[in-house]
Amino acid sequence: MQRKKSPVLSSVLSLIVPGLGQVYAGSPSRGAAFFIAIAVTAILVRWRGNSLLYTGIAVAWLWNVWDACNLAQGRRLSSILPFLAIALVLYVIGWGVTEINLRRLLTDVADVKPLVSDLFQPAVFERDIEELVGEVQFESPCSDSPPAKGSPLESEPYLVLVDKTCGDPGDTFTIEGGNFWPNSRGYIWWSNLAGEMEFRVRYKGDYLTFETDEEGRIPPTTVIVQEPFAEAKDKGPQLYRVQARMRRETGPLHLSETFFLVVEKMVETVFLALMATTIAIIIAIPISFLAARNLMGGNPISMAVYYVVRTILNTLRSIEPLIMAIIFVVWVGLGPFAGVLALAVHSIAALGKLYSEAVESIDPGPIEAITATGANRLQTIVYAVIPQIVPPYLAFTIYRWDINVRMSTIIGFVGGGGIGYLLQQWIRLLMYEEAGAAVWAIAIVVAIMDYASAKAREKIT
């Protein structure tokens, strides 16, 4: 470092390979920083960036030459300028890679409105549903003896065929009916004769609906003859049932089926957290002693155990519980057990580390004092060690419990049981009112648990 280096050579080196001049001038770490920063940024620009961004790299590159020149003369420049140039380039790339699109954030805000409003109307209460069905039989394709047109009934809802009673798929025919609720809307359904295959008929993409008049009559409505069901293909003429269905809510509000389902799954969720936390505590306590340096120090074998345990704990801790859950779902199958295992393993790793740090930070003084009274080892542990580790163990356990309650609500997203499984399904089926009920249940339970554990924590300190 004392001997002056040639500034020209240093500059040329840095011009060819960024950082090389700095290495030559005796500052290898600075050289490495320049090289890595410029190389990585250049690769990223090539991969995802706009060629305009090469300007930023050029600035950094030129500056790096200037820096090498100065360094050779023993002067260190502040590297704020190339740092800013590189940072700017990286943020521009980052903006693109993460597809940030502020315009959409503003223009598409309407899309989320129904979802949010459904979430705020969780399906907690519902009324009973009552349904009116009228039906008539239709044949496709036509046989020698097509069915009758049907006839109006006295007081029951009915449907009759107006023009045809049979036809090929794609043909249209007309129906009408009566004795439905007045001034209401209903849907047309199509099913096979046995009634176990059925669907709502669509017309030009929308469901085919009808509106009744003030006397509950269905005006003439055009229906398209549907394709045969797969199993009835090439079997010749078949009878189908054409139905008009109308539903409405009736009676007083009562707690919904969704509500009870959510409660049931929420109970499962809390138990999932409880089992996982308890299993973790039981296993983490002995492990924490093996991972405590102050207990394991001294002889090489116990030190080896210490390092092995620490390494395992650190590795396990770095695996997210959701990923762990995927592994256990494959192993023990879908359901809460997989979730319990995933959370338990992660918690063992996390608690093992926290507990062992609590053991490491105990004051050796009381241990010394109790040993000096002639107490045996077990007495020393009970009187000098346990009183010191119980408060931190409790605090860490409560903290872990909080995390596990939260995690258990989403572990179901990957099949680990609990309320998350329902929530994920409802979101996929666009059943946002039901999803809303689940979201509210999660929020309420997590808030209650948070409050309770905050109280518990106050007690122990």
Partner 1 sequence: MLQIEHLTKIYGDGTVALDDVSFEVPDGEFLVILGLSGAGKSTLLRCINRLIEPTKGRIIWDGTDITASSGEELRQIRRHIGMIFQEFNLVERTSVLINVLSGRLGYVNPWLSLLHYFPREEVDRALRNLERVGIADLAHKRADELSGGQRQRVGIARALMQEPRLMLADEPVASLDPVLAHSILRYLEQLNREDGITVICSLHFLDLVRRYASHVVGLKDGRVVFQGLPDEITDRRFKEIYGEEAERITVA
Q: How far apart are alpha carbons 213 and 182 in whole angstroms?
A: 6
Which of 391, 443, 448, 454 touches partner 1 (CB under 8 A)?
Answer: 391
Pattern of binders to partner 1 over 111-150, x per CB under 8 A?
A: ----------------------------------------
User: Measured at the alpha carbon of residue 182, what is the angle toward residues 181 and 188, in degrees to the nearest 5?
Assistant: 60
Cβ pair 42, 90 in contact under 8 A: no
Q: How far apart are alpha carbons 359 and 361 in whole angstroms?
A: 5
Give the burial string for 445-456 (b: 16+ CB within 10 Å, else e). bbeebeeebeee
199: enclosing H helix or E strand: strand 198-200
Nearer to partner 1, 97 or 369 (CB): 369
Asked if 101 touches partner 1 (CB under 8 A), the answer is: no
Asked if 388 touches partner 1 (CB under 8 A), the answer is: yes
Residue matched to tokens 């740092």: 83
Asked if 109 touches partner 1 (CB under 8 A), the answer is: no
Asked if 424 touches partner 1 (CB under 8 A), the answer is: no
Nearby residues of 270 by Cβ (< 8 Å), 6 or more positions away: 405, 408, 445, 449
Largest CA distance in the chain: 114
Asked if 430 touches partner 1 (CB under 8 A), the answer is: no
Pattern of binders to partner 1 over 44-63, x per CB under 8 A?
A: --------------------
Which of 374, 428, 458, 459 touches partner 1 (CB under 8 A)?
Answer: 374
Cβ pair 126, 103 in contact under 8 A: no
Nearer to partner 1, 79 or 371 (CB): 371
Taking CB under 8 A as the criterion, which residues in 264-323 touch partner 1?
A: none
Nearer to partner 1, 112 or 382 (CB): 382
Asked if 366 touches partner 1 (CB under 8 A), the answer is: yes
55: enclosing H helix or E strand: helix 54-72
Nearer to partner 1, 74 or 365 (CB): 365
Which of 301, 372, 428, 458 touches partner 1 (CB under 8 A)?
Answer: 372
Asked if 383 touches partner 1 (CB under 8 A), the answer is: yes
Cβ pair 412, 423 in contact under 8 A: yes
Please report how the helices 80-97 and 54-72 are oriented relative to each other, as an axis angle in degrees rounded to 10: 160
Q: How far apart are alpha carbons 203 and 443 in whole angstroms?
A: 42
**Could you tell me which stretch among 5-13, 358-366, 399-407, 423-431 binds partner 1 (CB under 8 A)?**
358-366
**Could you tell me which stretch among 130-138, 377-385, 416-424, 448-456 binds partner 1 (CB under 8 A)?**
377-385
Interacting residues toward partner 1 by CB under 8 A? 363, 365-366, 368-376, 378-379, 382-384, 387-388, 391
